[in-house]
Amino acid sequence: MENLSPLTHGDLAGQPVTAVRRAIRESRYSGQTSGLGMGLLQGNLVILPEALALDFARFCQRNPKPCPLVGVSDTGIPMLRTLGADIDIRTDVPLYNVYRDGELAEQLTDITGLWADDSVAFVLGCSFSFEDALSAAGIPLRHIAENRNVPMYRTNIETVPAGTFGGAMVVSMRPLSVTDAIRASEITARFPEAHGAPVHFGDPAALGIGAMDRPDWGEATEIRDGEVPVFWACGVTPQAAVQAAKPPLCITHAPGRMLITDIPSGEVGHHATDIPVARSIEKTGI
């Protein structure tokens, strides 16, 4: 293989998605995807053996706010035809977490060697889509301004279980003024494939959250006078459910390293049969 030098986020920001995807596919970029492929839907990834796939599909159907399913591969087929013209799920995520029996075993930039005849890939919408829309509406997002990870908390809201999958819903928190919280609810409600409207705002105790300064994932964010904490269902929920179910092998994206699709944000889901890419791909028989 030729000598391919690593690329930075700055190198790829503003580049067309094909260039970003090539850099990721060639393992030249393994960083976070926020701010890349702007305007395109990004997704969380969960790869499971087929024997667990029906239960996981049921888990997503029953918990659409934390688990908005935007694409499912055919069994053993790594090309995600409904999400793009040329998406190979074995190579097109910057960094993968490999879990064995529920424990993180390794991180890889390419999982071609682990993809099997019975592998099924699930892609779930992520909050990057709605964060773009909030920023465009002038709503300030502190964790982005401070270049930190959004804080995430385990709640007392039980997901509706399916098979071995279940457990607590995880939420992400963004501090906003009340006016911005209302506007953010209005805007994010339009993104059901990116967790939709908040599940709560105001009182962390109502969700069973104790210390706001000690998030279960991500980094704490200051809540200033006049602000309320606003909580959205979070894509870590299915990852936590999968880890608790302890399947022999499960592969996910590493946090913040998402799959970038060809689907414009906000146009997926209920409009899937209108998506030109899915239709045109079908016709070319890729």
Q: Which residues lie near its own copies (CB under 8 A)? A: 50, 53-54, 57-58, 61-66, 68-69, 71-72, 74-75, 82, 120, 157-163, 169, 192, 196, 199, 233, 269-274, 278-279, 282
Q: Residue 162 and residue 55: Cα distance in Å, rounded?
A: 6
Residue 189 CB, nearest approach to its own copies (Å):
9
Which one, 71 or 204, has the nearer CB to its own copies?
71
Query: What is the arrangement of strands in the sheet containing 168-177, beginning at the earlier edge strand?
Result: 152-158, 168-177, 227-233, 200-201
User: Please, which residue, 157 or 254, has the CB nearer to its own copies?
Assistant: 157
Q: Nearest Cα to 39, choosing from 190, 263, 276, 274?
A: 263
Q: Minimum Å distance from CB 64 to its own copies? A: 5
Q: How far is the CB of 9 from its own copies (least distance, A)?
A: 32
Looking at beta carbons only, is 160 or 244 nearer to its own copies? Answer: 160
Distances, alpha carbon 165 to alpha carbons 7, 65, 188, in Å: 37, 16, 27
φ/ψ region of 165 (left if φ > 0, alpha if ψ in -120 to 50, else beta) reads beta
Q: How far is the CB of 22 from its own copies (least distance, A)?
A: 26
- In Å, how far are 27, 64, 137, 159, 224 from 67, measured between CA atoms? 28, 5, 25, 10, 30
| Cβ proximity to its own copies, 198 vs 229, nearer residue | 198
CB of 128 to its own copies, least distance (A): 18
Alpha-carbon Rg of the chain, whole angstroms?
18
- Picking from 157, 159, 207, the residue whose alpha carbon sits closest to that of residue 61 is 159
